[in-house]
Amino acid sequence: MKLVIIGLGQCGCRIADEFARLNKKARGQRGIEICPGIFAVNTDAADLSGLTTIKADYQHRILIGGRKTGGHGVGKINELGTEIARADADKVVDALRSAKRFYESDAFMVIAGAAGGTGSGAVPIITQHIKERYTDKPVYALIVLPFEHEEATEERTIYNTAVCLKSVNSVADAVILVDNQRYVRKDLSLKFNIAKINSLIVEPFYDLLCAGEEKKAKFIGARTLDAGDIIQTLSDWTVIGHGESQLKLITFPFEQIKNFRKKSTETYKGIQAMDEALSELSLRCNPKDAGRALYLVSAPAKEMNMDMVKELGEWMREIAPNAIIRDGDYPRERGVLAVTVVLSELSDVEKVRDYYSESTELIPVIKRRQKEIKVKLDDIDTAAKDIPSLLE
């Protein structure tokens, strides 16, 4: 599957930069192009300058709202981000065509952090304009939810997140939710933590996007998971997870696994990788709420057998009994058995409900607080009305 990637705001641009790294890795290791166009859109020039892999020309790093922000961002005011995105949407949409293989793409993915100003405010507007311009291709939104400490210390974070989620869900074909808190490594520095989190967010897409783009016969699975399967799976609220099990490399080329213990270990490794993928889903959810699901098994061809595929299928059916399940195999990895899981069309997402509920309670509190501040300021002005001014 080929995706055109559009990162919005600081968070979205950095994750788009990771997709650029992933595309570079796919070209170098596998000779595959998975992202024919990758773009970073921001109101902050410094953030755009900090990217490392996305092309540095103005068509790929797009500064919007320069007149209103002076290239210094919108300061978490998502309404301003929306206003700027609405004014400069054509500039972004027209830039997409600059990609050499733009028309080979299967879908768009718009990426943003839900709590910020530029990304949070711009993502529904840009999504809407892309859908209106390119009606034949789905548009997916990858939305990153804030850290717990951000929610606890800044009310605006919760408000921005709720508004962003409601708005983008009404226009995107699917919203892939990522909870930042699930990827935190407490013993790492802030800078390394953010870089590692962005890498972990993007990694599950690698095999998923590569599997359907393979050209060499030996790397094409018995059941290929192609762009059509992914498009038919992705819908509404969605989560993604990735798990791995280390395999013992066969020392001798003609060595075969005949021992029953070794055979059962193969199957166990597959279940172990799927369990890890489910435990590392991008957002905590109940798989029973999924209406659609897919899983991709990637391992050396000799390590994948019918017993393992059967066990994985039965396990997925057990944990997601209401889902239409699609699956595939990808005989690519060496020394690793990897499983990628996608749960989509989730009928209930507790985290989203919490944001909506908390934001509904916060709105009257914020309005009352703003009114009180205005009254106090008016009182100060009234107290000073008889004092002469040097400006008059």
Q: Is the pLDDT of residue 382 over 90?
A: no
Domain co-membership, 45 together with 140: yes
392 belongs to a structural domain: no
Instruction: Return the sign of the alpha-carbon dihedral for residues 8, 147, 139, 25.
Output: positive
Q: Report pLDDT for 253.
A: 46
CATH, residue 309: 3.30.1330.20
Residue 168 predicted with pLDDT over 90: yes
d(CA 18, CA 199): 6
- Residue 249 DSSP label: P
Would the pLDDT of 263 be above 70? no
- At residue 245, what is the residue type? S
Contacts of 353 (CB under 8 A, 6+ apart): none
Report if residue 302 sits inside a domain: yes
Lowest mean pLDDT among 17-26, 61-70, 83-92, 169-178: 61-70
Question: Could you tell me if 152 and 16 lie in one domain?
Answer: yes
The pLDDT tens digits for 333-363 are 678 899 999 999 999 999 999 999 988 888 7
- Does one domain contain both 160 and 300? no
* Predicted structure pTM score: 0.89
**Is the per-residue pLDDT at 169 higher than 90?**
yes
Q: pLDDT (tens digit, 9 = 90+) per residue, 323-335? A: 999 999 999 867 8
7 within domain boundaries? yes
Query: Which long-range contacts link 53-60 to residues 24+ away (Cβ below 8 Å)?
Result: 53/17, 53/18, 53/20, 53/21, 53/24, 54/7, 54/13, 54/16, 54/17, 54/20, 59/95, 59/98, 60/95, 60/98
* Last-in-domain residue among 202, 220, 247: 202
Is 242 in the same domain as 196?
no
Query: Measured between alpha carbons, how far is 129 from 146 in angstroms, rounded to an integer?
Result: 26
Pairwise CA distance, residues 390 & 297, whole Å: 76
- CA–CA distance, 343 with 233 (Å, rounded to integer): 8
Nearest to 345 by CA among 324, 373, 366: 324
Residue 188 has pLDDT above 70, yes or no: no
Give the phi and the psi of residue 61 in degrees, each rounded to 5. Answer: -110, 100
Give residue 27's domain range: 3-202
pLDDT of residue 191: 61
Given a contact cutoff of 8 angstroms between Cβ atoms, the answer to whether 180 and 186 are in contact is no
